[in-house]
Structure 1
Amino acid sequence: MSTDVLTRRPAVRGLLAENGPLAALVALAVVLSLLSGDFLSVTNLLNVGVQAAVTAILAFGSTFVIITGGIDLSVGAVAALSAIVLAWTSTSAGVPWPVATLVALVAGLACGLVNAALITYGKLPPFIATLAMLGVARGLALVVSQGSPIAMPDAVSHLGDTIGGYLPVPVLVMIIMGVITAVVLNRTYPGRAMYAIGGNEEAARLSGIKVNRQKLITYALSGAFAATAGVVLASRLASAQPQAASGYELDAIAAVVIGGASLSGGKGRALGTLVGALILAVLRNGLNLLSVSAFWQQVVIGVVIALAVLIDTLRRRGSA
């Protein structure tokens, strides 16, 4: 066997590993377009983008955490709490909506910092710390709202509109948050530190990286992204609902893993996360077009998530 062939095989495997999620998305779109004539319509494709927006924004924040080898189960509850904070402060408290929006983002960021403090200084496992925050944030959302939806300010509700009749604002926000994620991961010191911590936390510490400080930044970003997702979701619903985004944390984690990130840390990309969120949205949309029962949809999506984790496990064993 020639040397060229031997050197080409690892390159091909690397190319497939990097672009596998994108190839899966294209294949899924082709299959659904053959099964349903409505799938490729402009209206439906825009609907897919809107459906993917909230999950993608949550997933971008989760990407930071998963790259460091952590996990954040609280993003759905933090999104709901942040939306409630915005709606309550702008209506009941009479705060101008720009200030209320800033307060909502700060609330999400604060939840992320509490998660990080429990993990870094309280030495709690990320699973337990963020699970506790899930309960606290969801409970606070119910307390503040008294269990009832709160109307959003009209100016904020326009986030659910479209620009020029074609570009949905949630999709635009999703793209902006994706670009921010890519810049943080590829162009900043915290981004490089996230990869180092996920690859080997002790080695990162010995190399001079302040691991605790970087984890504070990481979970704070996750909380801020969750708050943004909560505002976008509430704008679509025209009200902040205390039970909104329930279960979205699992979709966010699934999107990150499907997009090629490793649950063991050290690996992940903004583009991969976006593709993972689109795969989930396209799959749900296609199953709806094919009139598949919602119960069976959960089964199919569960299988997809299991396969993504299995592929990640096999990939890590192969690299080892």
Structure 2
Amino acid sequence: MTLTSAPAPAAKEDSAGPRRSVLAGVGGQNLSLVGALIGVLALFGLLNDNYLSLSNMQVIAEAATITGLLALVQTVVIICGGLDISVGSQVGVASVVSAMVFAGSGSNALLGMAAALAVGVLVGLLNGLVIVYGRVNPTIATLAGLAAYKGLAQLLSDGRAQGYVLNNDVFVFLGRGRIAGLPVMVWILIVVALAVHLLLKYTDIGRNIYAVGGNDTAARLAGININKYLVCVYVLVGVVAAIAGILLTARTGSGQPTSGSEGLELKAITAAALGGCALKGGKGGIGGTLLAVALLGALENGLTVEGINTFWQNVAQGALLVVAVVIQQRRNGERAVGLPH
């Protein structure tokens, strides 16, 4: 009896095996995001005939580029067990510096960009040193940076847009150029995403970043220099935030101390959380983050096209962040705060 009944379960396992392999490869979180993205596109496509047009898809992609860049590095920070709430303000400082140096150097675009990147390195290094050697909680340290860098951008610019860069071919190419039909900004996002993905998945550096976020004690015992990794990760954030600031300048035509950069930190954190990053560290990936960025961009554009009050976009982002955290807790089997086991 046992011999004749044994093959039945094996057959079920064989038939279910390929499905399990596909689900494991893609990830349940990513499949949920794909489904949500298709739903948003279908909904607004039915409500507005122009929503799914090629031109509007390019508008969504361009608008999501800066958020996407910040979400990518926010993903790396969260995987490493940290958080950076100051990314939006960093973008504002870099934007102002790029435009002011450009204007003050006789319209030298490369010098303006180099200055912005240098500021990004310094700001990221400062965040990392405060967190590591000042032993300040990353949330508190970067919350202070959010206020400080915003104030610095306003002091440098006197609270006004600075410079005018649309008379320069380099900035015009970055902000409005096309390569193979895609905006240059989108290509930059693709290149950065690919580089970060390769770093995390196929290098010892990436594996060590996951190890630091997953269990810093075990990582330290394994000989990983945790302080060095944390500082370098925050420097990476500063560099990519500077790139985003340069793109903001190119897109708007001038250095923006707050306009265009305010609220980016919430979008970046929301995208990373929706993409599957465990806020405790050690888990996450670039694919899920990019899908979440696309979802947020499609939702924001759809609300705008339908003439819905822009304040509702903030409500939607906050709600999505809560939903993402709740889903994570349920999947990880974590106890809800304040409730018994």
Q: So what's the TM-score if we normalise by structure 2?
A: 0.87
The runs of 5 or more residues in structure 1 that have no matched partner are none
1:217 pairs, out of 225, 232, 242, with 232
Out of 96-105 and 14-23, give the one that drifted further.
14-23
1:77-226 matched pairs, under 5 angstroms: 77-94=89-106, 96-153=108-165, 154=168, 155-163=170-178, 166-226=181-241
Tell me whether 1:61 sits opposite 2:66 in the alignment.
no
After TM superposition, give the deviation of residue 10 of structure 1 in Å.
Answer: 6.7
3-state SS in 1 of match to 2:224 = coil
Please tell me the residue identity of whatever aligns with 2:214.
Answer: G
1:13 deviates by: 6.5
- What residue in structure 1 maps to residue 328 of structure 2? 312
Tell me the SS of whatever aligns to 2:42: helix
CA–CA distance in 2 between the matches of 1:273 and 1:218?
A: 17
Match of 1:298 among 288, 291, 314: 314
Give the partner amino acid of 1:229: A
Question: Separation in 1 of the partners of 2:262 and 2:159?
Answer: 14
Which residue among 278, 289, 295 is the counterpart of 1:279? 295
Q: Which moved more, 1:90-99 or 1:186-195?
A: 90-99
Distance 2:330 2:246 in 1: 38
Q: Secondary structure at the match of 1:281?
A: helix
Note the C-alpha offset of 1:169: 1.6
Q: Indicate conservation of the 8 Å contact 1:67/1:268, yes or no.
A: yes
**8 Å CA contact 2:30, 2:291 repeated in 1:** no
Match of 1:23 among 35, 46, 61: 35
For the residues of structure 1 that align with 2:221 and 2:290, how far apart are their CA atoms?
Answer: 33
Q: Compute the displacement of 1:119 (Å).
A: 0.9
Q: Does the 8 Å contact 2:267/2:317 carry over to 1?
A: no
Counterpart CA distance in 1 for 2:21 and 2:12 is 10
Deviations 1:256-303 (A, max 9, x none): 111111111111111211111111100011122222222333323322
Alpha-carbon distance, 1:53 to partner: 0.4
Aligned length: 319
Runs of 5+ unmatched residues, structure 2:
1-7, 336-341
> In structure 2, how many angstroms separate the alpha carbons of the residues matched to 1:152 and 1:168?
21
Residues of 2 paired with 1:115 and 1:215: CA distance?
10
Aligned to 1:241: 256
1:54-109 Cα shifts (integer Å, max 9, x gaps): 10011111111011111001111011101111111121254732122112112112
8 A contact 1:67–1:261 mirrored in 2: yes
Instruction: Give the counterpart letter for 2:33 in structure 1.
Output: P
Contact 1:61 1:223 in 2 (8 A): no
Structure with max Cα Rg = 2
SS, match of residue 195 in structure 2:
helix
Is the 1:21–1:260 contact (alpha carbons within 8 Å) kept by the matching residues of 2? no
Structure 1 length-normalised TM: 0.92
- Matched to 2:285, the amino acid is R
**Letter of the structure 1 residue corresponding to residue 9 of structure 2:** S
